[in-house]
Amino acid sequence: SSTDPVGHEVIWALGAGCRDIISLQVAPLHPCHQPTRFNNRSLQMIGRCWPHLRALGVGGAGCGLQGLASL
| 44-65 pLDDT tens trace | 999 999 999 999 999 888 899 9
Do the domain assignments include residue 60?
yes
Do the domain assignments include residue 1?
no
* Range(s) of the domain holding residue 20: 8-69
Q: How many domains does the chain have?
A: 1
Do the domain assignments include residue 49?
yes
Q: How far apart are CA 23 and CA 37, in angstroms?
A: 21
**Following CA atoms 71, 60, 11, 7 in sequence, which dihedral angle do they give, to the nearest 10 degrees?**
140
Please provide the DSSP assignment of 1-61 as one string. Answer: --SS---HHHHHHHHHH-TT--EEE-PPPSS-S-TTSSBHHHHHHHHHH-TT--EEE---T
Output the pTM of the full model.
Answer: 0.86
**Which carries the bigger pLDDT value, residue 31 or residue 67?**
67
Do the domain assignments include residue 55?
yes
| 3-42 pLDDT tens trace | 677 888 999 999 999 999 999 998 777 777 888 889 999 9
What is the predicted pLDDT for the residue at 2? 59
